[in-house]
Amino acid sequence: MFIAAFPPVWGVLSWAGRHHKSDDMDLLEDDQPGRNEPEYTVSEISGAVKRTIEGEFGRVRIKGEVGRVMIARSGHVYLDLKDDRAVLASIIWKGQAAKLAVQPEEGMEVVAIGKLTTFPGQSKYQMVIEDIRPAGVGALMAMLEKRKKALEAEGLFDPARKKPIPYLPEIIGVVTSPQGAVIRDILHRLRDRFPRKVLIWPVAVQGEGCAPQVTAAIEGFNAMTPGGALPRPDLIIVARGGGSIEDLWGFNEESVARAAAASDIPLISAVGHETDTTLIDYVSDIRAPTPTAAAEIAVPVRLDLLAGVDSYGARMAQALSGAVSARKQRLADLSRALPRAGELTQIARQRYDIAGSRLDTSLKAGTAAKRLAFEKAAAPLRPSILARQGDRMQARLDQIAGRLDIALDRRAERSRAKFDRIAAGLTTKGIARNLSSERDRLSRTTRAASQVAGAQVRAWRDHLEKLDRLRETLGYQATLERGYAVVWDGDTVVTDSKAAKKATMLEVQFKDARIPVGAAAKAAPKPKPPKSGQPSLFDD
DSSP string, 351-389: HHHHHHHHHHHHHHHHHHHHHHHHHHHHGGG-HHHHHHH
Answer yes or no: do 295 and 163 share one domain. yes
Percentages of the chain per state (helix, strand, coil), in multiples of 5: 55, 15, 30
CA–CA separation, 399 vs 270, rounded Å? 119
Answer yes or no: do 27 and 124 share one domain. yes
Domain containing residue 40: CATH number: 2.40.50.140
Domain encompassing residue 25: 9-135
Answer yes or no: do 175 and 294 share one domain. yes
Q: What is the pTM of this model?
A: 0.43
Instruction: Identify the helix (H) or strand (E) that includes residue 343.
Output: helix 341-378
Answer yes or no: do 112 and 155 share one domain. no
Answer yes or no: do 15 and 84 share one domain. yes
Answer yes or no: do 231 and 332 share one domain. no
Residue 82 lies in a domain: yes
From 54, 56, 67, 19, select the one nearest 40 (Cα to Cα).
19
State which residues of the chain have pLDDT below 50: 1-29, 530, 532-540
CB count in 10 Å sphere of residue 26: 6
Answer yes or no: do 119 and 158 share one domain. no
Answer yes or no: do 168 and 250 share one domain. yes
Answer yes or no: do 200 and 295 share one domain. yes
Answer yes or no: do 285 and 162 share one domain. yes
Domain containing residue 288: CATH number: 3.40.50.261
CA distances to 18, 37, 53 from 41, in Å: 15, 13, 19
Residue 528 pLDDT: 54
Residue 119 lies in a domain: yes
CB count in 10 Å sphere of residue 115: 14
From 76, 73, 75, select the one nearest 89 (Cα to Cα).
76
Please say which residue of 96, 112, 135 terminates a domain.
135
CA–CA separation, 304 vs 310, rounded Å? 10
Residue 136 pLDDT: 64
Answer yes or no: do 194 and 228 share one domain. yes
Q: What is the 3-state secondary structure (H, E, C) of 4-31?
A: CCCCCHHHHHHHHHHHHHHHCHHHCCCC
Residue 435 lies in a domain: no
Answer yes or no: do 101 and 187 share one domain. no
Sign of CA dihedral 293, 299, 302, 308: positive
Q: Enumerate the β-bridge partners of residue 238.
A: 175, 269
Sign of CA dihedral 127, 131, 136, 141: positive
- Helical segments of 198-301, H only: 210-223, 254-261, 279-283, 291-298
Residue 462 lies in a domain: no
Q: Which amino acid is at 68?
A: R
- The count of C-alpha atoms lying within 13 angstroms of the C-alpha of 329, restricted to the half-sphere facing its C-beta, is 5
Residue 78 lies in a domain: yes
Contact, 288 vs 294, CB < 8 A? yes
CA–CA separation, 393 vs 20, rounded Å? 155
Please say which residue of 300, 321, 352 terminates a domain.
300
CB count in 10 Å sphere of residue 387: 9
Residue 26 pLDDT: 43
CA–CA separation, 347 vs 163, rounded Å? 72
Residue 68 lies in a domain: yes
Please say which residue of 85, 104, 135 terminates a domain.
135
Q: How many domains does the chain have?
A: 4
From 310, 294, 287, select the one nearest 196 (Cα to Cα).
294
Residue 540 lies in a domain: no
CB count in 10 Å sphere of residue 478: 13
Residue 37 lies in a domain: yes
